Amino acid sequence: DVVMTQSPLSLPVTLGQPASISCRSSQSLVYSDGNTYLNWFQQRPGQSPRRLIYKVSNRDSGVPDRFSGSGSGTDFTLKISRVEAEDVGVYYCMQGTHWLTFGGGTKVEIK
């Protein structure tokens, strides 16, 4: 199974400051069709997860442009350019290249 490792586990951030979450996979996520199936999800307290980013860097409709995804191969990053109060929650990366597996999650909280 592909193991997804996220860091940090917890990320206290000052409002208006940037935040960055790392996600590493135990093997390359490049599929035979040339795509890399790496998604990012946000789960606010008490809510279902919501997809923010698909295929590494594509923002879903309605997702603020302060969220961005980057990376390749086995190394990926989610960045929030300026954290807002509504960004509090747990963020998960997920790979869909070799079946599906999720990272352990990163809790974003306001300092």
Partner 1 sequence: QVQLVQSGAEVKKPGASVKVSCKASGYTFTSYDINWVRQATGQGLEWMGWMNPNSGNTGYAQKFQGRVTMTRNTSISTAYMELSSLRSEDTAVYYCARAAGIDPWGQGTLVTVSS
Residues of this chain that bind partner 1 (CB under 8 A): 1, 37, 39, 41, 48-51, 54, 60, 92, 94, 96, 99-105
Give the CA angle between residues 36, 2, 90 to the nearest 5°.
80
Q: Which is nearer to partner 1, 16 or 48 (CB)?
A: 48
Q: Which is nearer to partner 1, 35 or 77 (CB)?
A: 35
Residues 65, 67, 55, 28, Cα dihedral to 10°: 150
Q: Least separation, in Å, of the C-beta of 100 and partner 1?
A: 4
Q: Least separation, in Å, of the C-beta of 21 and partner 1?
A: 14
What's the rounded Cα separation, in Å, for the pair 71 and 18?
18
Q: Which is nearer to partner 1, 43 or 68 (CB)?
A: 43
Number of residues written out for the chain: 111
